[in-house]
Amino acid sequence: MIRVDLSHMRHFIPLPYEAALTPRLHLAHERLRSGTGAGGEFTGWVSLPRTYDREEFGRIKAAAKKIRGDSQALVVIGIGGSYLGARGVIECLCSPNYNLKKKDTPNIYFVGNGLDNDQLAEVMELLEGHDFSVNVISKSGTTTEPAVAFRFFRQLLEQKYGREEAARRIYATTDRNKGALKALAAAEGYESFVVPDDIGGRYSVLTAVGLLPIAVAGIDIEQLMAGAAAMEADCAREGMDANPAWQYAGARYELQHRGMEIEVLACYDPFFRFMAEWWKQLYGESEGKEGKGLFPASVEFTADLHSMGQYLQEGRRNLFETVVRFEPRAGELAVPFDAENGDGLNFLAGKTMSDLKQQAMDGTLLAHVEGGVPNIRVCCGARSAFTLGELIYFFCYACGLSGYLLDVNPFDQPGVEAYKKNMFALLGKPGYEDLGQSLRARLAENDS
């Protein structure tokens, strides 16, 4: 079970806020659960841990088993919510060094999340001499970055295996009924999985979007969904004392109301890095509208205490920290005894690495709070698929509540379209000629 500890943020707020905020949280909660708030047509994820398609879930597990049996690598092609959640879960539960480990599951390479030549060329080189499959993830099939990457890796598969066998190694996660990728999958015979119409990309990690790559890595997706279901039950409760998502969303809102502009997500485990990247997209894309929303940032402790630590301790006091804390696993390494004690650290001999980490957490928390930085702690169980399922659902639900507290639609992303329109125009996409001419003129003027 996830517990939200607010004891180190309360003295930054001069008056009790829970009673005053409860009616607004109640309204946000009702809108989220009933789908009657802004963007309610994209709240299918709220009930997903109970209502997910069991038949497709079985096909996901079967496809993952096939990939593990016939492929030494899986190339996952997607951008934003189409890859961040899956990569976050895989790195969190398997390792940031997953592809370097000795294992009986395929390497997993994530591409199509940018437009860099060297990234594509490097992955293609790494695949030489290896059997591989591709999972292309796109609702429309026309998003530039993954669509371009898919051209390269589809061609590579067809050159290596021929068109018919290549089709058996391509798995398309896309719209149920329409779109360029769906049409291609139907024409070529790719096995297809569904990006649900009522779940947006950044909320989709517990759908086929995330579950297929996660299952290929050997992670128990049954337990992932069970954790999400347990947290769904917790988040269905009403009241500040009963619902951890209410506590987190309420504290974030009140701290922002008191002048905080930045939320820094911290974790003391390097494996959490891409979970933090997923969290940044979730909150940045959901709240950053109409001049509103906290700016989501992340740090990796204790490493970043030796870089960002100075700013966090003594910089501008316009930020607060949210720290994710996992319980230790069994079998922790203990610090060895050194007879010479040249480094003077024998006082640590026998202590586990978790002992050291725990004291580093507590010491840092006290220093930052004393330095004027409010601190929210999200306390989780030991790292497992069940715990990650809980955490994913918790952050999603609190994000929906937070958006409604700010009176924005937490399920659209109109600002993302601005760069796409300009990029299409500059690349010469048909229908964008006039805009392209205007943009090139502005760029020339700025360069002169």
Which residues does the annotation mark as catalytic?
285, 420
Q: In what order do the strands lie in the sheet with 132-137?
A: 107-111, 73-77, 132-137, 170-174, 191-194
Contact 175/139 with Cβ under 8 angstroms? yes
For residues 416 and 406, give the distance between their C-alpha atoms in angstroms, rounded to a whole number.
19
Structure tokens at 280: 């940044």
The DSSP result for 161-200, as a single string, is H-HHHHHHTEEEEE-SS-SHHHHHHHHHT-EEEE--TTB-
CA dihedral 363→366→368→371, nearest 10 degrees, is -130
For β-strands 107-111 and 132-137, DSSP reports them as unpaired
Partner residues linked to 76 by β-bridges: 110, 135
Length reported for the chain = 448
Q: 268, 314, 322: which is closest to 295 by C-alpha?
A: 322
The DSSP result for 393-410, as a single string, is HHHHHHHHHHHHHTTS-T
Angle subtended at Cα 418 by Cα 415 and Cα 419, rounded to the nearest 5 degrees: 115
Contact 34/46 with Cβ under 8 angstroms? no
For residues 98 and 113, give the distance between their C-alpha atoms in angstroms, rounded to a whole number.
19
For β-strands 319-327 and 295-300, DSSP reports them as unpaired
Contact 214/388 with Cβ under 8 angstroms? no
Partner residues linked to 3 by β-bridges: 379
For residues 360 and 342, give the distance between their C-alpha atoms in angstroms, rounded to a whole number.
22
